[in-house]
Amino acid sequence: MKENDIDLLIDVLKDKTKQEERRRILYHFGDKVSRLNSDKLTKFLIHLLKNDLDPEVRRAIAQRFSYVKRIDVMEALCEAMLTDIEPWVRHAAARALGTLNFIEAIPSLVKTAQNEQYERIRDEAAYSLGQIRDISALPFLAELIKKDDEIFGTAAIAISNIAYYNIKRGVSTLIKLLTIDDKDKLWSVIYALELLGEKAQKAVPFLINIAKKNNDPYIQAKAIYALGWIEGEDVKSFLNDSLKTTRDDNIKFWLALSHARIFGSKEEGAKELEGLFAYSRLDDDQETEYQLLVRKWYHEKKNLGKDIEEAHKKDIEDILQKIKNSETKTFEYKAYLLFNEKTGEEKELRFKIVKTIASMMNSEGGQLIIGVKNSGEIVGLQNDYKLIKEISKQNRDGFRLYLIDCIKNLIGLQYTDLYNVSFLTIEEKEICIINIKPSKSQVHVKTIDGRYIFSIRGEGSNQELDSKQTQEYINLHEQFH
């Protein structure tokens, strides 16, 4: 823009009889004010910011000055933030200072964050301190978290922004704040560490301690969730151990989610999530997190392309080879859970299925397949699906629910950690795969007539033991001690 054009623009902005036009020009300036590179225009706008009676004009200039990286502009914005009578002008000035990223603005931003009466302006000042990313702001932001009951969340995020570029000081500041008593403030500090991801490794022991010992499930869950983003060997060990021992469904979900995020869709955490989801044990937030993770896996698998296809082929090959080798102490297959092949009607086969599961738990563990005949022919699950009473559940999800109900009804709720249920498609037919771990305690199965029996796996079959044989077996196997 030529000098004459700059003069014309200044003349329009001087004309206070044309308020709407002045505002329109300033609001549509955008970053043009910096590209004009006019010292004369910039100085005139500074004059208007300090002296114009129209707060909309002052506000518009403060907003546009976020594009003009000059010391005199920064100083004018600091003055406006501290002294302008209009809150929205002070707010716009605080925001612009964060964008300009001048260390010299930190004292004014600290003063505003500490003393400004309006929460929204204090909040903006705290956020701008985080944008400048200088460690000199850390102690002031830490004090804001402790003392300001309204903007502590933004102050925590600001520390996280600084910590991203100054890891040692930033993470150390956040770790010290993990002792804070206020639940909501502690949640915000944990969230700030979560945002740093693997850069927050030094916070891992402190977060694990919170996950184990804090009395508030809300805080425990947040610490576990943050650990899932930070990762590391200590996190993996904690998640593996805790997932095995935790009984509370809420905490177990967050453990499983973090476990699944780190270890992937094939491991225990993912399988635990599937079970909790299938039983509708998730609240809205948990279901959203689960669906986001599943969506992420879907896109990862889609991108993996041939690698996924090869892995799937390998799973199929492994199962087919096991079927070819016939049943063993740790591998068995059944044709149906519900379907009677001779009559086409439902038959109570669940006892035999659950008895095999319990027998493997009482022995070395193993794998049970449903959907394969004794001859090795793959028949799939379609006939079983049709016999599930609710039409909407005549699918793998409904089958999973029915199967898990059968297991829990016949051996109890306490063994859910010892098995997981998955599905595989072979020859265009779905089969069900139940992977079973050995139990450290005796697993008894409830019979159709209400008795309880104890059985173990032999070579390719289940062996029911009487009370004397059971006791002798227990005495011989340390796993029941």
Q: Could you give the domains of the chain? A: 308-480 (3.30.950.30)
> Nearest Cα to 152, choosing from 133, 171, 136, 181?
181
- Tell me the three-class secondary structure of 360-399, residue by residue: HHCCCCEEEEECECCCCCECCCHHHHHCCCCHHHCCHHHH
Residues 6+ apart with CB under 8 A from 307: none
**Range in 101-115, 338-352, 446-460 the model is least confident about:** 338-352
Q: Is the pLDDT of residue 1 over 80?
A: no
CB 404 within 8 A of CB 275: yes
Query: 81: left (phi > 0), else alpha (psi -120 to 50), else beta?
Result: alpha
C-alpha to C-alpha distance for 431 and 380, rounded to whole angstroms: 5
180's tokens: 């804070």
Q: Is the pLDDT of residue 474 over 90?
A: no
pLDDT band at residue 304 using 50, 70 and 90 as cut-offs:
very low
413's tokens: 């709720």
CB 211 within 8 A of CB 220: yes
**Predicted pLDDT of residue 480:** 42
345's tokens: 């009607």
Q: Is the pLDDT of residue 328 over 60?
A: yes
> Nearest Cα to 381, choosing from 370, 366, 389?
370
- How confident is the model over 149-156, as a mean pLDDT? 95
C-alpha to C-alpha distance for 428 and 415, rounded to whole angstroms: 32
Across 88-97, 330-339, 391-400, 413-422, which has the greatest mean pLDDT? 88-97
**Predicted pLDDT of residue 469:** 79
> What is the pTM assigned to this prediction?
0.62
Q: What percent of the chain has pLDDT over 90?
A: 48
Q: Is the pLDDT of residue 80 over 90?
A: yes
**Predicted pLDDT of residue 189:** 97
C-alpha to C-alpha distance for 313 and 406, rounded to whole angstroms: 31
**Range in 195-199, 258-262, 446-450 the model is least confident about:** 446-450
pLDDT band at residue 317 using 50, 70 and 90 as cut-offs:
confident
Q: Is the pLDDT of residue 54 over 70?
A: yes
- How confident is the model over 258-275, as a mean pLDDT? 87
**Predicted pLDDT of residue 267:** 84
DSSP of 170-195, one letter per residue? HHHHHHHHTT---HHHHHHHHHHHHH
pLDDT band at residue 125 using 50, 70 and 90 as cut-offs:
very high
C-alpha to C-alpha distance for 376 and 332, rounded to whole angstroms: 11
**Predicted pLDDT of residue 347:** 52
**Predicted pLDDT of residue 309:** 57
pLDDT band at residue 324 using 50, 70 and 90 as cut-offs:
confident
**Predicted pLDDT of residue 35:** 60
> Nearest Cα to 160, choosing from 254, 258, 226?
226
pLDDT band at residue 477 using 50, 70 and 90 as cut-offs:
low
**Range in 140-144, 235-239, 250-254, 264-268 the model is least confident about:** 264-268
**Range in 7-11, 189-193, 240-244 the model is least confident about:** 7-11
**Predicted pLDDT of residue 200:** 95
- Average per-residue pLDDT for the chain: 87
CB 73 within 8 A of CB 43: no
Q: From the centroid of its chain, how far is CA 295? A: 12
C-alpha to C-alpha distance for 97 and 125, rounded to whole angstroms: 8
Among all chains, which residue has been given the structure tokens 């903007």?
A: 151
- How confident is the model over 255-283, as a mean pLDDT? 85
* Residue 6 or residue 361, greater confidence: 361
Question: Which residue type, as a one-letter code, is found at position 375?
Answer: S
Q: Is the pLDDT of residue 346 over 60?
A: no
* Residue 384 or residue 145, greater confidence: 145
Q: From the centroid of its chain, how far is CA 164? A: 20
- How confident is the model over 60-67, as a mean pLDDT? 89
**Predicted pLDDT of residue 32:** 61
* Residue 75 or residue 67, greater confidence: 75
**Range in 126-140, 213-227, 332-346 the model is least confident about:** 332-346
- How confident is the model over 150-167, as a mean pLDDT? 94
- How confident is the model over 344-369, as a mean pLDDT? 83
Helix (H) or strand (E) holding 44: helix 39-51
pLDDT band at residue 481 using 50, 70 and 90 as cut-offs:
very low
Q: Compute CA distances 54 → 25, 116, 339, whole Å.
A: 14, 22, 81
Q: Give the model confidence (pLDDT) of 387-434 as tens digits.
A: 887 766 788 888 888 898 888 888 887 788 788 888 888 888 899 999
C-alpha to C-alpha distance for 356 and 335, rounded to whole angstroms: 13
> Nearest Cα to 42, choosing from 65, 19, 15?
65
**Predicted pLDDT of residue 387:** 84
Q: Is the pLDDT of residue 251 over 90?
A: yes
